A = this chain, B = another copy of it.
Amino acid sequence: MVKNADPLAALRIETPPATLREMALERMRNAIIRGLFEPGSRLIERTLCEQLGVSRSVIREVIRHLEAEGLVEMLAKQGPIVARLEWDDARQIYEIRAALEATAVADCARVADEKVKAELRKSLSELDRTSQQNSPLGILDATTSFYRTIFHAGGHTIAWDIVSRLNSRISRLRVMTLSTPNRTTSGPNQIREIFARIEKNEPEAAAAACRAHVKAAAEIAESIIGADGT
């Protein structure tokens, strides 16, 4: 009975996470988030089969998953389309984000040790790099990594799942928001402010900075979406 002795744990052969379905899910989700498909455009199952090189069973199961995530809508008698985003939905999403992120940031500021702060600094430098390159997608990734650290530091794994999912629904909006001229500098500055408060372990101030950040993003988003109606 030498089972699961800790020193032997390293021997474990990790199961390849490679079912076709999981790979296809990853690809599809990314494709939608990255904006490869227009919102409202139809997702023809057989076409996707060819594009991804898998069978319809796989595609259909992936679509079910994305449907539950809110990235795909089903039109009765017509099939799946890339989910459209009403401004009212986006507004709600920003509100929920503000609530959850502020809580997470505050908790993070309470417990953050040097290790967490170091990780956050790393994300920040990545943020600097990508924002100098004016790369919205890069900024998005860096911001995501910043917040992921914050949520996990405070033990808010479920809230992080929710926020991630909400973010993927407004990803297009976020990219447009980030492409706004002065946003390229103001966004990172606000995030730096959040970090500064976390660094000093000031929960309330950090949460306030976080709310301000989300609010600013929401306002830019509204001006964009109000203008073009997408």
Chain A residues packing against B (C-beta within 8 Å): 15, 17, 57, 60-62, 64-69, 76-77, 88-89, 92-93, 95-96, 99-100, 103, 155-159, 162, 166
Partner of A61, one of B17, B61, B88, B156: B61
Complex contacts, A76 vs chain B, CB 8 Å: 15, 17
Complex contacts, A69 vs chain B, CB 8 Å: 68
Query: Can you name the residue of chain B whose Cβ is closest to the Cβ of A159?
Result: B96
CB distance from A70 to the nearest CB of B (A): 8
Complex contacts, A60 vs chain B, CB 8 Å: 57, 61
Docked pose: A31 CA to B95 CA in angstroms: 33
CB distance A99 to B103 under 8 Å?
Answer: yes
Docked pose: A166 CA to B166 CA in angstroms: 15
Complex contacts, A158 vs chain B, CB 8 Å: 89, 92-93, 96, 166
CB distance A92 to B157 under 8 Å?
Answer: yes
Query: Can you name the residue of chain B whose Cβ is closest to the Cβ of A16?
Result: B76
Docked pose: A3 CA to B230 CA in angstroms: 24
Docked pose: A64 CA to B57 CA in angstroms: 12
Docked pose: A166 CA to B162 CA in angstroms: 10
Complex contacts, A93 vs chain B, CB 8 Å: 158
Given contacts A15-B76, A15-B77, A100-B99, contact A155 B92 (CB under 8 A): yes
Docked pose: A154 CA to B25 CA in angstroms: 34
Interface contacts beyond A64-B64, A88-B155, A158-B166: sample of 4 additional A-B pairs, CB < 8 Å, sorted by A: A64-B68, A68-B69, A92-B159, A99-B103
Docked pose: A89 CA to B159 CA in angstroms: 10
CB distance from A147 to the nearest CB of B (A): 16
Given contacts A15-B76, A61-B60, A77-B15, contact A156 B92 (CB under 8 A): yes
Complex contacts, A99 vs chain B, CB 8 Å: 99-100, 103
CB distance from A221 to the nearest CB of B (A): 15
Interface-central residue, A15, A62, A92, A157, by most chain B CB under 10 Å: A92
